[in-house]
Protein backbone atom coordinates (compact mmCIF):
# COMPACT_ATOMS: atom_id res chain seq x y z
CA UNK A 1 0.00 0.00 0.00
CA UNK A 2 1.47 3.36 -0.94
CA UNK A 3 2.00 6.02 1.72
CA UNK A 4 -0.78 8.39 0.63
CA UNK A 5 -3.33 5.58 0.61
CA UNK A 6 -2.12 4.39 4.02
CA UNK A 7 -2.44 7.90 5.46
CA UNK A 8 -6.02 8.08 4.13
CA UNK A 9 -6.70 4.83 6.01
CA UNK A 10 -5.24 6.31 9.22
CA UNK A 11 -7.46 9.39 8.81
CA UNK A 12 -10.53 7.22 8.08
CA UNK A 13 -9.94 5.29 11.29
CA UNK A 14 -9.71 8.61 13.15
CA UNK A 15 -13.05 9.78 11.69
CA UNK A 16 -14.60 6.47 12.71
CA UNK A 17 -13.31 7.01 16.26
CA UNK A 18 -14.84 10.48 16.43
CA UNK A 19 -18.21 9.14 15.30
CA UNK A 20 -18.20 5.95 17.40
CA UNK A 21 -16.61 7.35 20.56
CA UNK A 22 -17.41 11.04 20.67
CA UNK A 23 -20.48 10.46 22.85
CA UNK A 24 -18.29 8.90 25.55
CA UNK A 25 -16.70 12.28 26.30
CA UNK A 26 -19.40 13.77 28.52
CA UNK A 27 -21.66 12.28 31.19
CA UNK A 28 -24.75 13.60 29.37
CA UNK A 29 -23.98 12.17 25.97
CA UNK A 30 -22.65 8.94 27.49
CA UNK A 31 -25.82 8.40 29.49
CA UNK A 32 -27.93 8.95 26.36
CA UNK A 33 -25.78 6.56 24.30
CA UNK A 34 -25.81 3.94 27.04
CA UNK A 35 -29.62 4.10 27.24
CA UNK A 36 -29.92 3.75 23.45
CA UNK A 37 -27.67 0.69 23.38
CA UNK A 38 -29.54 -0.88 26.30
CA UNK A 39 -32.93 -0.30 24.63
CA UNK A 40 -31.73 -1.69 21.31
CA UNK A 41 -30.26 -4.73 23.02
CA UNK A 42 -33.57 -5.37 24.78
CA UNK A 43 -35.61 -4.89 21.57
CA UNK A 44 -33.37 -7.32 19.69
CA UNK A 45 -33.74 -9.89 22.46
CA UNK A 46 -30.03 -9.84 23.26
CA UNK A 47 -30.54 -9.59 26.99
CA UNK A 48 -31.72 -7.22 29.63
CA UNK A 49 -30.94 -3.55 29.54
CA UNK A 50 -27.70 -2.79 31.29
CA UNK A 51 -27.90 -1.15 34.72
CA UNK A 52 -27.30 2.58 34.91
CA UNK A 53 -23.71 3.64 35.19
CA UNK A 54 -22.47 4.64 38.61
CA UNK A 55 -20.17 7.69 38.92
CA UNK A 56 -16.99 5.59 38.70
CA UNK A 57 -18.13 3.81 35.53
CA UNK A 58 -19.13 7.15 34.06
CA UNK A 59 -15.74 8.65 34.91
CA UNK A 60 -13.90 5.78 33.21
CA UNK A 61 -16.13 6.00 30.12
CA UNK A 62 -15.60 9.78 29.93
CA UNK A 63 -11.83 9.39 30.31
CA UNK A 64 -11.81 6.77 27.55
CA UNK A 65 -13.90 8.98 25.27
CA UNK A 66 -11.72 12.01 25.91
CA UNK A 67 -8.48 10.17 25.19
CA UNK A 68 -9.85 8.52 22.04
CA UNK A 69 -11.16 11.83 20.70
CA UNK A 70 -7.84 13.60 21.36
CA UNK A 71 -5.97 10.69 19.72
CA UNK A 72 -8.31 10.91 16.71
CA UNK A 73 -7.74 14.65 16.42
CA UNK A 74 -3.97 14.12 16.46
CA UNK A 75 -4.27 11.55 13.64
CA UNK A 76 -6.42 13.94 11.62
CA UNK A 77 -4.24 17.03 12.07
CA UNK A 78 -0.79 15.40 12.03
CA UNK A 79 -1.26 12.15 10.14
CA UNK A 80 1.87 9.99 10.16
CA UNK A 81 2.39 6.34 9.21
CA UNK A 82 3.56 5.40 12.71
CA UNK A 83 0.23 6.64 14.10
CA UNK A 84 -1.39 3.83 12.13
CA UNK A 85 0.84 1.26 13.82
CA UNK A 86 0.06 2.53 17.32
CA UNK A 87 -3.62 2.78 16.45
CA UNK A 88 -3.60 -0.78 15.09
CA UNK A 89 -2.12 -2.09 18.33
CA UNK A 90 -4.65 -0.11 20.40
CA UNK A 91 -7.49 -1.53 18.28
CA UNK A 92 -6.22 -5.05 18.92
CA UNK A 93 -6.37 -4.38 22.65
CA UNK A 94 -9.84 -2.82 22.36
CA UNK A 95 -11.08 -5.83 20.39
CA UNK A 96 -9.68 -8.19 23.01
CA UNK A 97 -11.35 -6.40 25.93
CA UNK A 98 -14.63 -5.97 24.06
CA UNK A 99 -14.68 -9.72 23.40
CA UNK A 100 -13.97 -10.44 27.05
CA UNK A 101 -16.82 -8.13 28.06
CA UNK A 102 -19.28 -9.95 25.78
CA UNK A 103 -18.11 -13.34 27.10
CA UNK A 104 -18.73 -12.05 30.63
CA UNK A 105 -22.28 -10.97 29.79
CA UNK A 106 -22.16 -7.58 28.07
CA UNK A 107 -24.55 -7.07 25.17
CA UNK A 108 -23.44 -8.73 21.93
CA UNK A 109 -24.09 -5.37 20.22
CA UNK A 110 -20.54 -4.53 21.30
CA UNK A 111 -19.33 -7.00 18.68
CA UNK A 112 -20.36 -4.56 15.94
CA UNK A 113 -17.69 -2.22 17.30
CA UNK A 114 -15.29 -5.15 17.70
CA UNK A 115 -15.55 -5.95 13.99
CA UNK A 116 -14.63 -2.36 13.17
CA UNK A 117 -11.66 -2.50 15.58
CA UNK A 118 -10.39 -5.69 13.94
CA UNK A 119 -10.86 -4.33 10.40
CA UNK A 120 -9.14 -0.98 11.01
CA UNK A 121 -6.48 -2.55 13.21
CA UNK A 122 -5.70 -5.28 10.71
CA UNK A 123 -5.55 -2.89 7.76
CA UNK A 124 -3.25 -0.51 9.62
CA UNK A 125 -0.92 -3.26 10.88
CA UNK A 126 -0.83 -5.40 7.72
CA UNK A 127 1.83 -3.40 5.83
CA UNK A 128 4.15 -3.45 8.83
CA UNK A 129 3.58 -7.12 9.61
CA UNK A 130 4.18 -8.15 6.00
CA UNK A 131 7.35 -6.02 5.87
CA UNK A 132 8.58 -7.65 9.09
CA UNK A 133 7.97 -11.12 7.63
CA UNK A 134 9.88 -10.21 4.46
CA UNK A 135 12.77 -8.83 6.53
CA UNK A 136 12.93 -11.94 8.72
CA UNK A 137 12.91 -14.23 5.66
CA UNK A 138 15.66 -12.29 3.94
CA UNK A 139 17.77 -12.29 7.10
CA UNK A 140 17.52 -16.09 7.38
Distance CA 29, CA 57 (A): 14
Percent of the chain beyond pLDDT 70?
A: 90
7-16 residue pLDDT tens: 999 999 999 9
pLDDT at 124 over 80: yes
pTM to 2 decimal places: 0.84
Contact in structure between 13 and 124 (CB atoms under 8 Å): yes
Residue 56: per-residue pLDDT:
92
Q: Are the CB atoms for 113 and 98 separated by under 8 Å?
A: yes
Task: Give the tens place of pLDDT for each residue, 45-76.
Answer: 887 666 667 889 899 999 999 999 999 999 99
Amino acid sequence: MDTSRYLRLVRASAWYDLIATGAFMTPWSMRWLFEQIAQLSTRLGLGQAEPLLDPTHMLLANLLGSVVVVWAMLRLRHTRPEHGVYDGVARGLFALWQTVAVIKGATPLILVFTVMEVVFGGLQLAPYLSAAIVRSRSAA
